[in-house]
Amino acid sequence: MYIGKFAALTGTTPKTIRFYESIGLIPEPSRKGNYRIYDHTYVETVKQIKRAQDLGFKLSEFKLLMQGVNIKRGLPASVIIKAISMKRDQINTEFKKLQRMDEQLLALQNELKNTDC
């Protein structure tokens, strides 16, 4: 299939598809003359990448995890699982940090309520 149909199936644009190729998230497809020819192998991969972006992932995070990974048959689930695990760790760390900050703000608020300021 040509890039327009591929982009439509993945909910992206041809520009996005070309960008993903340029940074190595998907391999360059075969060509027929000047036209890129895609098969269905990467439709799910691109959908997963877009979903991950919607959940707060940066493309640079995926790119880092994909170093040395063979993506000729699509993005391996192990890469996505590792990325999810890392993102959840980051979220939990940030959550704990925000909880401590909230506790400190509440303590300051209570201190200020009990002063004559």
pLDDT in tens, 8-24: 999 999 999 999 988 88
pLDDT at 67 over 80: no
Measured over the CA atoms of residue 24, residue 30, residue 19 and residue 86, the dihedral's sign is: negative
The amino acid at 87: K
Q: Among 3, 68, 60, which residue's Cα sits nearest to residue 30? A: 3
Domains and CATH numbers, the chain: 3-113 (1.10.1660.10)
* Residue 94, pLDDT score: 96
Structure letter (DSSP) for residue 75: -
Q: Where are the beta strands (DSSP E) in the chain?
A: 30-32, 35-37
How far CA 86 is from CA of 2, 40, 80, in Å, comes to 35, 28, 10
**pLDDT tens digits for range 12-60:** 999 999 999 888 888 888 889 988 898 888 898 899 888 888 888 888 8
* Residue 95, pLDDT score: 97
* Residue 76, pLDDT score: 79
Mean pLDDT in residue range 48-76: 82
